[in-house]
Amino acid sequence: MTLSRRDEATAAAPLVARIGIAGAGGRMGQALIDATLASTDLQLAGAVDVPDSPALGTDPGAHAGRTTAVRITSDVDAVVKSCDVFIDFTRPAGTLLHLAACARAGVAAVVGTTGFDAEGKATIATYANTIPIVFAANMSVGVTVLAQLVEDAARRLGTAFDIEIVEMHHRHKVDAPSGTALRLGEAAAAGAGVDLSEHALYARKGVTGERKPGTIGFATLRGGDVVGEHSVIFAGTGERLELTHRATSRQNFAAGALRAARFVAGQRAARRHGLFDMADVLGLRQSV
How far is Cα 87 from Cα 74, in angstroms, rounded to an integer?
A: 15
DSSP letters spanning 229-260: EEEEEEE-SS-EEEEEEEE--THHHHHHHHHH
Has 98 been annotated as catalytic?
A: no
Residue 152 C-beta-side C-alpha neighbours within 13 Å? 9
Q: What residues are paired with 241 via a beta bridge?
A: 234
Has 205 been annotated as catalytic?
A: no
Burial of 254 per CB tally in 10 Å (0-12, 13-18, 19+): buried
Q: Which helix H or strand E contains 222, and what residues bound it? A: strand 216-222
Which residue in the list 170, 172, 173, 230 is annotated as catalytic? 173
How far is Cα 31 from Cα 24, in angstroms, rounded to an integer?
A: 9
Which residue in the list 98, 169, 199, 230 is annotated as catalytic? 169
Which of the residues are catalytic? 169, 173
